[in-house]
Amino acid sequence: MNFIVVGCGRVGAELAFRLYKSGHQVVVVDQNEEAFHRIDPEFRGRTVHGEALRKDVLDRAGVDEADGLAAVTNSDTLNAVVAHAARTIYNLPMVVCRNYDPRLRGMLETFGIQIVGSTAWGAQRTEELMTGVSTRAVFSAGNGEVEVYDLVIPQEWHGRLWGDMCQGLAGFLPVAISRAGRAFLPTLDTRLEGGDVVNVSATFDGIKALRARIDTKAEA
């Protein structure tokens, strides 16, 4: 596939090289020609020096033949404008926009663009690691609004039903239970065993409520 990476900072350089190593055709655009030195020497894609808001620069990058574009500069405004143009003018099927300032996330979301917000996601992930020892996130969807967690069932819940744990709570769905090296799909009638690992798809509020339910039982 053909991809354009706008911005050759640390993230852009790493993304471009990863896409190239995966077998894709990659073009990197940056207004600072020195920035291209950040890319791994093994990179064999193309680089285009110029301002990404200029039509001639995007034309030289091959936007008409591109399958996707990632706007990952250090400017939220520039990322938003370039991503919006790629989606609405050039009709690219996959457009991703990097977000630095969480306060501007609402503006970016109005464009209907896939957003990767390193600041918001990093803060949330750090909070999870600092406050939730019984769970850990193993997959993050979107901008971290929904994640898949490994939830370890404590001995205090041994023999109880999964439905008992879920009762009255919202914001999460069970994905699978791993027990003795094998996984299966849980139901509300599934009887839990201490040491079970439950994969749970949840919002941050949902997993907090589930942690609280587990901790309350453990303290009883």
pLDDT tens per residue, range 92-138: 989 999 888 877 777 777 777 788 877 776 776 676 556 544 677 78
Report the predicted TM-score, pTM, of the whole model to 2 decimal places.
0.65
**Which domains does the chain possess?**
2-119 (3.40.50.720), 126-219 (3.30.70.1450)
What's the CA dihedral at 30, 35, 39, 44 to 10 degrees? 50
pLDDT tens per residue, range 129-180: 565 446 777 888 877 789 999 888 888 999 999 999 999 999 999 999 999 8
Q: Give the contacts of 220 (CB within 8 A, at least 6 positions apart).
A: 156
